[in-house]
């Protein structure tokens, strides 16, 4: 009984963290073009949001467990555009945008987010790819 409760509690952590991530954003819900979540082993997970205004990508690790979040921005056809790895391993987020001069994506095109968890020294794993979204701002 105790192990079942612990398992359920551990499984709820990423969901709660994801809710906090989505609630902590500024602006209206329509400002978020797309968000995506990927879960990994032992409650690890990664989440990402993309806002068209300013091409802002927010990459978040959702559990302090040694894994980090990694997001590849890809064209709708799957070509690599750029990659962002969350600098943190403790439910905080890394945010990049067009304002930094390196993370601007073309307007009037479709993209996808490939969201993964990654452990130091290993390849990205437990990746999930978002549905395509259209960047028109």
CA distances to 25, 42, 64, 70 from 119, rounded to whole Å, are 26, 13, 12, 10
SS3 content of the chain, % helix, strand, coil (to 5): 25, 45, 35
User: CB of 48 within 8 A of CB of 74?
Assistant: no
Token look-up 């991530």 returns: 21
Identify the pLDDT of residue 15: 40
Identify the pLDDT of residue 132: 92
Token look-up 């095109």 returns: 109
Whole-model pTM? 0.74
Where do the H-state alpha helices sit in the chain? Answer: 2-23
Read off the pLDDT of residues 43-71 as tens digits, 9 standing for 90 and up: 789 999 999 999 999 999 988 888 899 99
Q: How confident is the model at residue 39 (pLDDT cuts 50, 70, 90)?
A: confident
């Amino acid at each position: 009984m105790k192990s079942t409760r612990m398992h359920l509690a551990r499984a709820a952590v990423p969901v709660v963290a994801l809710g906090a991530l989505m609630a902590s954003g500024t602006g209206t819900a329509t400002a978020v073009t797309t968000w995506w979540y990927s879960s990994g082993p032992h409650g690890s997970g990664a989440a990402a949001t993309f806002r068209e205004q300013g091409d802002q990508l927010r990459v978040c690790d959702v559990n302090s467990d040694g894994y980090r979040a990694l997001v590849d921005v890809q064209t709708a056809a799957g070509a690599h555009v750029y990659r962002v790895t969350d600098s943190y391993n403790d439910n905080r987020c890394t945010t990049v945008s067009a304002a930094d001069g390196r993370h601007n994506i073309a307007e009037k095109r479709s993209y996808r987010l490939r969201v993964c968890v990654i452990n130091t020294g290993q390849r990205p794993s437990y990746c999930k790819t978002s549905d395509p979204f259209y960047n028109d701002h």
